[in-house]
Amino acid sequence: MIKTFFIYLVCGPALLMPCKMRIIYAELFGWTVQGFYYIYYSTMKILLNELKNGKK
Amino acid sequence: MAKNKEAVILYSGGTDSTCAVFLKAPEFEKIHLISYRRYGIFNTSNIDYNVARLQSLFGKDKFVRTVIDIDKMYKLVVYDNYFKNLFKFGFFNLAVCGLCKMAMHMRTILYCIDNGIDTVFDGANKDAGSGIATDQVKEVVSVITDLYKSFNISYSSPVYEMNGPKNLTWQAKLGLSKEEEPEDVKTTGTFLKEKGFFDSDNVKGSLIDKKMQARCFQQFLSNMALNSHFIEKYGVEKYKKTLHEFFTAKSQRMTMHIKDFLNGKENSILFRYKQ
């Protein structure tokens, strides 16, 4: 339910945007998603490395 | 066997379209490598990295290199008959990759007509985007093939049935588990590695991949609306069926616009949208 609401909240406005605005909006959203991905990925990697070093 | 004369390849600089060039270049005297740029696609000059390498392999005269702007064409494909499509297909109107690819194909048809070419290839692959990419699923590719057929142009992807590289799980990416590719799987990457064009059999997502392709992150909106929402709710079959209906509707309108343009109708919208 929350997920559906979030998807409508993010994607709904894009449907009503003119061409350039939609491109910028989608780009910004894309960068944000990539940002979260890299933060999550690098945090996990650092944590795993620390755990490995601790185990040694 | 006599060589065919000329063909167009829609070239993105990536593994799949490069593999298409390798497979088709020996069959034709001349290959037109066409790339497209529009607002929102960055670093299009990266594509030249592999073009130069291909030219050194096959000879400079083998290729005609063209880069065309499709800003207006893209706008036409996305917003043509918009409100009707909005009520009928909803979030499918955000299928950026499919719509952008349709604009590219539309422009390619005009290019072929201008240059008297009747054969077009690209690097579409059945496994792209985990097999649900809005521009490369079979249902959309068949619509594009029919669009070309309306203008007596043959379109196909020589790499369509090749396997895509295996998607690594989180555990494998973080080095927690090892996932090995089955040895006999033939991908476009393994093909290019065998030919000595790449050092690795899977460069997708790597730094070298970023260096040789343009960049665009706009697909995340449609990924969210269609992959995370529509497919979860209605399933893949319904997703593919709706994609087919959506792109068929688009294709019919685009065929009409191109025919109006070719017949020289004064009010043809393409007089304003062709760049």
Q: Which of residues 162-201 of B touch A (CB under 8 A)?
A: 173-176
Q: Are the Cβ atoms of A23 and B218 closer than 8 angstroms?
A: yes
| pLDDT attached to residue B145 | 95
Q: Do B217 and A34 touch (CB under 8 A)?
A: yes
Taking the C-alpha atoms of residue B157 and residue B10, their distance in angstroms, rounded to an integer, is: 10
* Cross-chain residue pair A15–B40, CB shorter than 8 Å: no
Average pLDDT, chain B: 87
Higher pLDDT, B128 or B164: B128
Segment B162-169 shows an average pLDDT of: 72
CATH number at residue B229: 3.40.50.620
Q: B84 at the A interface (CB within 8 A)?
A: no
Task: Say whether pLDDT at B1 is over 60.
Answer: no
Strands B28-37, B154-156: pairing kind: unpaired
Number of structural domains, chain B? 1
Site from A1, A5, A19, A49 to mutate, B interface, most B CB atoms within 10 angstroms: A19
Q: Which helix (H) or strand (E) holds A51?
A: helix A19-55
- pLDDT tens-digit profile of B239-262? 999 999 999 999 999 999 999 888
Higher-pLDDT residue of B166 and B118 is B118
Give the span between the Cα atoms of A53 and B188, in whole angstroms.
38
Please, which residues 100-159 of chain B have a Cβ atom closer than 8 Å to chain A? none
Q: How confident is the model at residue B177 (pLDDT cuts 50, 70, 90)?
A: low
What ipTM did this prediction achieve?
0.83
Can you tell me the distance from the alpha carbon of B181 to that of B189, in angstroms, rounded to the nearest whole number?
12
Q: Tell me how far apart the alpha carbons of residues B3 and B140 are, in angstroms, rounded to a whole number.
A: 30
Strand partners, B156: B121
Q: Could you list the mean pLDDT of each consecutive 10-residue stretch along chain A, which spans 56 residues?
A: 88 91 92 89 88 84
Q: What is the pLDDT of residue B187?
A: 83
B273: CB partners within 8 A, 6+ apart: B72, B73, B75, B76
Q: What is the pLDDT of residue B112?
A: 94
How many interface pairs between A and B have CB atoms less than 8 angstroms apart? 63
Residue B120 bridge partners (DSSP)? B8, B155
- From the list A7, A15, A44, the residue facing B93 with the nearest CB is A15
CA-CA distance, B8 to B109, in Å (whole number)? 10
How confident is the model at residue B218, as a pLDDT?
Answer: 87
Contacts of A3 in chain B (CB under 8 A): 228-229
Residue B183 — pLDDT band, cuts 50, 70, 90?
low
The residue among B180 and A48 whose pLDDT is bigger is: A48
Exposure on the CB side of residue A20, measured as CA atoms within 13 A: 3
Query: How far apart, in whole angstroms, are the C-alpha atoms of residue B173 and residue B169?
Result: 6
Determine whether the interchain pair B78/A14 forms a contact, defined as Cβ–Cβ distance below 8 Å. Answer: no
Write the pLDDT tens digit of every residue in B211-243: 888 888 888 888 888 888 889 989 999 999 999
CA distances from B59 to B29, B48, B55 (A): 11, 15, 5
Distance of CA B200 to the CA centre of its chain: 23
B224 touches chain A (CB under 8 A): yes
Predicted local distance difference test score (pLDDT) of residue A52: 85
Q: CB A15 to CB B75 under 8 A? A: no
pLDDT tens sequence across B5-17: 899 999 998 889 9
B31: phi then psi, degrees, rounded to nearest 5: -120, 125
Whole-angstrom CA distances from B208 to A35, B48, B253 are 20, 13, 39
Look at residue B159 and tell me whether its pLDDT is greater than 60: yes
Whole-angstrom distance, CA of residue A47 vs CA of residue A42: 8
Q: In angstroms, what CA-CA distances link B103 with B76, B142, B245, B246?
A: 8, 16, 17, 14
Judge contact between B129 and B230, C-beta under 8 A.
Answer: no
Identify the domain containing residue B216 by its residue range: 4-273
B217 → chain A, closest CA residue: A30
Q: Considering only CB atoms, which chain A residues are within 8 Å of B216?
A: 27
* B129 has a pLDDT exceeding 90: no
